[in-house]
Structure 1
Amino acid sequence: MKPGDLVVRHSYGGDVLFRIEAVRNASAILRGADYRLLADAPMKDLSIVTHPELTDASKQVRIKEAQTTDRIQQQQLHQQMSWIDRQSQPGQPSYFEVPGVVLHLDGDANYMKKSMQLYSTMRVPAHGIYVHESRMAEMVHRLLPQVKPDIIVITGHDGVLKHRNPQSGYYSLGGYKNSQNFVNAVQVARDYEKSMDGLIVIAGACQSHYEALLHAGANFASSPGRILIHALDPVYVAIKASYTPFKDTINLPEVISGTISGMDGVGGIETRGRYRLGLPRPKAQSQPAAMPYSSIQA
């Protein structure tokens, strides 16, 4: 087995598909293929998966992805039509849409690509940066003044450490693989824009320290139940924020239950949307719906 191979763990019943990131002695560093989980396992505990699309776990994930994407598209279409209808008057020039701009930092290059594809499909203007979790605070500090987004997504891989201090339980940041890195990045974002409606912050990955991320200033975070979250869950929340009218608050039960992971995977606080209408319609669009992503490694 080598880096890049898709594998499952025998000891967990092959419940999650992983990609080997690195091999160290007799152990492998693993990143979830569908879930934002960072783990390690003995090589002898792993089996290579040659046809991941045929596994029951992957089939179920693909079905859930399609259902969630379709549901968000339908909600988005209904919302846009009702919002435009309320604003339009007979004989007036047609309105144009200004959805919220997203800056998406991701610790996984494959997830970054999938996220940008979904932003493009949903016509959300998005800038994507692939950067190691340990460098996210630095990149947030550098990029926020350049991009000036309405929404920032700070995500990648995380997980609860197997050998954490049992006395602190789930409430010590030292018991997580990357939660401290996400908290640092959220604090930088909130120092840049203190208003929770001025900059919507979505942060976390699988099993991340939900309470610490909210305390640091995130509007939405994972994971209240310390469960695995799907790779696209932060993206679904960002899309909802981008297309919720600025006069309205984001429907919390709708957006959270609409993610693949649900209430145990993602939580948040009351937040206004960033979608606006303009008049009259410009003759040319100034930028594409989704910007190409950049690849930056630590």
Structure 2
Amino acid sequence: MKLNVGDFVARKSYGCDILFRISKIDNEKSVLIVGEEMRLIADAPLADLVLINDNEKSERMVKEKEKIESCYRLFRQDTRLLRQKSEYEMSEGYSSKNSYFELPGRILHIDGDPVYLKKCTELYEKLGVPIYGVHMPEKEMPEQITSLLEMVRPEILVVTGHDAYMRSKGSENDVKAYRNTKYFAEAVREARKFEPHIDHLVIFAGACQSYFETLIRAGANFASSPERVNIHALDPVYIAAKISLTSFMDSVSIWDLLRNTLTGEKGLGGIETKGLLRRGIPIKNSESFYERKKD
């Protein structure tokens, strides 16, 4: 079977459960594969791979789209409730007709996968969240993080890409057994040198099977993966967007936040954190602000 970079494949040994893209062909017997929807990276023997044709790929993508749309609808439902609360407060219990504007928290999203970054950026924009996206290999993130923070000045930082726990390299408590957790953790530590306050810079870090405890200890507010399971490519978006669109007067319920993700508490976790959205009045020039939009 002739395989090329960019081909879609699945692993026979795992029941063809996850759709992968071939990222690199190392030699005639092994290739590097990355999840198309899950933030997983793995080395795979050619003999274990099945080429996924266009029809099967389309069928898988339809099912995946249904899950994503369901999650999106739930997120929008929650944001509508936040809007109703905002409108009540800003209109003094609907007794006035004051217009108001909003300043959502700005997000810097650094992703090790350009395909994922494109998908995430499209979703951020669909949700109405200000986003600055950067693609770079995970190992470069610790070196570049400070200059990016200085340039973008975000309130929210997402450091993600691909990861994997490699059992043959050590126990779950050994950071050396993870493909990219050490780079995510180093990037978080550098970010905390830039902004130590956990409510002034909210950080999400990690990918599939990442060493959750190490990332939280490094200074992340939210991370993956408590049960070392795979997480969806869009999970970091829903966490960051929820923080961005929640008022700084309110804390974000961790359970409500995880309810808006595709993976849930087995793959994601974090600490109590305040929202970052700020509201203001009056509006004199609506083009100057993020004005409240109606659903």
Map 1:58-69 → 2, pairs under 5 A: 58-69=61-72
Q: Which runs of 5+ in 1 are unaligned?
A: 290-298
**Residue type of the partner of 1:247?**
M
Partner of 2:136: 131
> Quick check: 267-276 or 73-82, which moved more?
73-82
Partner of 1:293: none
Q: 2:109 aligns with which of 100, 104, 107?
A: 104
Conservation of the 8 A alpha-carbon contact between 1:183 and 1:216: yes
Change (3 A) 1:282 1:138: farther
> Quick check: 226-235 or 74-83, which moved more?
74-83
**Residue type of the partner of 1:127?**
Y
Partner of 1:186: 188
TM-fit CA distance, 1:215: 0.1
**Residue type of the partner of 1:140?**
I
Does residue 281 (structure 1) correspond to residue 283 (structure 2)? The answer is: yes
Conservation of the 8 A alpha-carbon contact between 1:125 and 1:288: no
Q: 1:121 aligns with which of 108, 119, 126?
A: 126
TM-score by length of 1: 0.92
Percent of aligned positions that are identical: 40
TM-fit CA distance, 1:287: 8.0
How many residues of Structure 1 are paired with residues of Structure 2 in the alignment?
285
Change (3 A) 1:252 1:233: same
Q: 1:40 aligns with which of 33, 40, 43?
A: 43
RMSD: 1.6
> Quick check: 80-89 or 60-69, which moved more?
80-89
Partner of 1:78: 81
Conservation of the 8 A alpha-carbon contact between 1:20 and 1:31: yes
TM-fit CA distance, 1:281: 1.6
Does residue 153 (structure 1) correspond to residue 158 (structure 2)? The answer is: yes
In 2, distance between residues paired with 1:62 and 1:45? 27
Q: 2:8 aligns with which of 2, 6, 9?
A: 6
In 2, distance between residues paired with 1:76 and 1:6? 35
**Residue type of the partner of 2:45?**
P
Change (3 A) 1:282 1:37: farther
In 2, distance between residues paired with 1:200 and 1:130? 20
**Residue type of the partner of 1:71?**
L
**Residue type of the partner of 1:109?**
P
TM-fit CA distance, 1:74: 1.3
> Quick check: 205-214 or 155-164, which moved more?
155-164
Q: Which has the higher contact order (CA 8 A, sep 6+)?
A: 1
Conservation of the 8 A alpha-carbon contact between 1:29 and 1:41: yes
